Amino acid sequence: MEHFFTCPYCWEQISMILDPSEEESEYIEDCEVCCRPIELFFKFSDERLVYFEAKRMEGI
């Protein structure tokens, strides 16, 4: 599933592919525009995205 969100550093709209088979996931992904690390957290329920958060890494 493709999901669009705004980078918390450069405010550009970026997209990523999320896997609905993972009910809950948390990881770090670099922004494809400014290359800064973004903490990502998302949850699925019945293969529907119910929560998504993209935030700055602390101290960066």
pLDDT tens string 10-51: 999 999 999 998 899 999 999 999 999 999 999 999 989 999
Q: Kindly report the CA angle at 60 between 35 and 32, in degrees rounded to 5?
A: 15
The span from the CA of 60 to the CA of 51, in Å, is 24
Q: Quick one: pLDDT at residue 40?
A: 96
Q: Quick one: pLDDT at residue 60?
A: 58
Q: Quick one: pLDDT at residue 58?
A: 78
Distances (CA, A) of 58 to 15, 20, 44, 45, 55: 22, 27, 25, 28, 9
Who has greater pLDDT, 50 or 58?
Answer: 50
